[in-house]
Amino acid sequence: MVFLYTTIPVDKQTKSQLFILKNNLEKVEGRAISYNELVQILLRNMQHTRERKKLGEFRKFRGSLPKDAVRIFEAERLKDLQAEESKNQEEQANVD
């Protein structure tokens, strides 16, 4: 891997937070982690978070029928259940 050395200006608080995060990851991983690797981990985590957020936004639409449509669906479902029950009773009567 070829490194491009550059300087990225950050304030003291951000530098401190990055340092703490780097140390915590080193404890978890049991090895040294470069700032380059830390940035890669943060970028992957951000991408993963975006994908989960998109999935969550998609899931919000599940079950989002208008109330009228829900009522119509429930009425049709009730008709189907009643028809099936009637059919089962007729079949039972024919067997007896």
At 20-47, the pLDDT tens digits run 999 999 999 999 999 999 999 999 888 8
Residue 75: inside a domain: yes
Predicted pLDDT of residue 96: 63
Q: Domain of 79? A: 65-96
Task: Name the H helices within 3-66.
Answer: 12-29, 35-59
- Contacting residues for 21 by C-beta, under 8 A, at least 6 apart: 38
Residues 51 and 73 in one domain: no
Residues 75 and 60 in one domain: no
Residue 41: inside a domain: yes
Residue 7: inside a domain: no
- Write out pLDDT tens, residues 65-92: 677 777 887 888 888 888 888 887 887 7
**Confidence class of residue 54 from pLDDT cuts 50, 70 and 90?**
confident
